[in-house]
Amino acid sequence: MSAAPNDKPGFRRLLPSPERPMAPESRRRLVTIAIIAFVIGLLFIPSLFKTTTVKTISYSTLTADIKANKVVSATVDNANGVITGQLSDGTNYSANGPSPLVSSELDLLKSNNVAVTFANPSSFGSTILPYLIWIAIFAGFMIFAGRQARGQMNGMMSVGRSKAKQFNQDRPKITFADVAGYLGVKQEISEVVDFLKNPGRFREIGAMVPKGMLLVGPPGTGKTLLARAVAGEAGVPFFSVSGSDFMEMFVGVGASRVRDLFATARKQSPAIVFIDEIDSIGRKRGAGLGGGHDEREQTLNQMLSEMDGFDPTEGVVVMAATNRPDVLDPALLRPGRFDRQIVVPLPDLEERLPILQVHARNKPLDATVDLSMVARGTPGMSGADLANLVNEAALHAVRRHSATISMDDFESARDRVMMGQERDTMVLQDDERERIAYHESGHAVLAYVLDKTDPLHKITIIPRGMALGVTMTLPEEDRHIMSRQHLEDSLCMRMGGRVAELLVYGDLSTGAADDLQRNTDLARRMVREWGMSKEIGPMAWGSNNQVFLGEDLMHTRDYSDHTSTLIDDEIERILREQESRAIEVLTLHRRGLDALTRALLEHETIDGEEAARLIDEAFGQPVHTRATKTVSSLRGTSRSAAPGDATPSDVAPSPSAQPAPAPAPATWQEPPSLPSV
């Protein structure tokens, strides 16, 4: 849907963009080359029109040659009687004859078979015509160079003009009907559009239009698309500009362009000005190293003045979009400038379905495709991610030469988006494949056995992206907060690969590097930011400041060395506790670990349904007998065990089977002792 900035349908350039001025040295070089070419042309023009070598003879000699049949042709000049022509030996001659030529001489020429022609005298114009052509060429070049120079000067003088593009209602446009979901966001924006269309209805009760609306949300949630929908719905002039368009290499250009933009919008008020990626010019002042005279700060100061300064702008509503509201200057966010901050979050389940329907409405879908199931299996995806998912599914259908898009195409597309492309060219040794299979099986067993982990979706030992193997879990419902038990189960599940290698081989490998890094980061946040440590208590020391803002360039801790030691000890305690828990669970389900590994070595990829069946069969009874554990899949139905369900007939409980491990304790307890390995 996006297009190049100068090719967007429905937009036209408001003012000509400045061109790069031509350097004086280049201009002087072109003029010098033109003068040299003109002089060389004048010197060589006569030689271009110069005749060949001519032999001058007397008139009597010419007469004798005519009588001796030595003359082939004769050209008589009626003005001066000069006779020129060619002899039989190929020599050109010239002789002065009577003027005008007498009839007896003419009869002599004809009687001796001489080709006779008469030349009229050339005019003055034909003589100087070649010179006039060269003069005209030189004059045209000078005129062209002069116009180019004036154009460059005009471009340099207009460098401070705004680069905003004005929406044209005659072009094809996007409306709110093209934006799926986000009913609350569209309602807030449509109120401003209605105010600009019918201001009298709002003024009757004293309502004032907001001066600014800031669209805030993660990348890909459709903030710019909503602004384009406003452009399609609004019956007032709509100006669109990017935050980067204000900045230039010249000092003061950004502030000048802001002034020009608001002056143009004020002339056509009521109007809407949309600034995309406003964080590029609206960052906090004084946070960088450029001081108060930084070009970006001057641009921001001018924008603050235009939005709500000494001379307030009436009838101009400013819309802006950003995914970094934390870096914006507080003066820009206060009421009176951006009165409304509209959050555009990631779509939930009810919004993902209409978004998928919008992107799939012009594509041939197979009858088996259930977009509601696709929506349930894509939590956390933005609108751009969903559009990419549908496109990847279409590409996969083309690769397998299918005329329709099936559910398998959506499944493959989700794997491609979330896990990466398969690396078919990578060849693994047999011992490496086995170790990777045990590693991923350790993750998968814990993901299925533990209560608070996300449902197990797929396990593969085919290298994808940067990983040699992948265990994928997918939540089937939107989660907005996470409990401590959920976090601890996530830590334990990531320990599964390392622990499985330790149980089977008695040593470790480098395959758990990413798992350990992610676990350490999560445990640190649990202790420092979320207060999930008994020793630290309800205190948080997480820093949200960014280094590029200059606020963490000289970072200092706001806690003592003793507290730092406690934080490190608590992080270590949490990680060791979850490692011990992973050892305990995998030791209990060692048969399931081996069965899952054998299946992976044979099939390379196993879905969650098959993995759950293998683990239950190896355990001798269903692992989840009291709680529901759903396995996420796009192709089939979910697998669940409701409370009180009978044991499946194909999996007979073993008399010696041990009960399923208890979930993580909800109260603070000491870490369990390490079982013998």
Structure tokens at 663: 């979930």
State the distance between the two ends of the chain, measured CA to CA, in whole angstroms: 58
Residue with the two structure tokens 């350990």: 516
Query: 459 has which bridge partners?
Result: 471, 606
With contact defined as beta carbons under 8 Å apart, do 288 and 550 qualify?
Answer: yes
Structure tokens at 537: 């208590």
CB-based contacts of 98, cutoff 8 Å, min separation 6: 59, 81, 105
CA 648 vs CA 510, 615, 617, 629, 654: distances in Å: 40, 14, 10, 15, 13
Structure tokens at 45: 């023009």
- Helix ranges, 158-198 (H): 183-197
What is the chain's Cα-based Rg? 43
Rounded Cα–Cα distance for residues 661 and 643 (Å): 17
- Is 105 catalytic? The answer is no
For residue 610, the number of C-alpha atoms closer than 13 Å in the C-beta half-sphere is: 16
Residues in the chain: 677
Rounded Cα–Cα distance for residues 497 and 565 (Å): 29
CB-based contacts of 11, cutoff 8 Å, min separation 6: 165, 166, 167, 168, 171, 240
Q: Exactly one of 105, 440, 488, 501 is catalytic; name it.
A: 440
Q: At what angle do helices 590-603 and 608-619 cross, to 10 degrees?
A: 140
Of the candidates 659, 628, 499, the one whose C-alpha atom is nearest the C-alpha of residue 575 is 499
Q: How many CB atoms lie within 10 A of CB 395?
A: 14
Collapsing DSSP to helix, strand or coil, 84 comes out as strand
**Is the bond preceding 270 in cis, omega lying within 30 degrees of 0?**
yes
Query: 84 has which bridge partners?
Result: 75, 94
Rounded Cα–Cα distance for residues 498 and 512 (Å): 6
Rounded Cα–Cα distance for residues 295 and 423 (Å): 47
Structure tokens at 351: 């919004």
Query: 96 has which bridge partners?
Result: 82
Of the candidates 191, 214, 208, the one whose C-alpha atom is nearest the C-alpha of residue 332 is 214
**C-alpha torsion 500→502→505→509, nearest 10:** 90
CA 375 vs CA 280, 356, 407: distances in Å: 34, 7, 12
Structure tokens at 108: 């002599």
Q: At what angle do helices 561-588 and 513-528 cross, to 10 degrees?
A: 130
Query: 577 has which bridge partners?
Result: none
The residues carrying an active-site annotation are 440
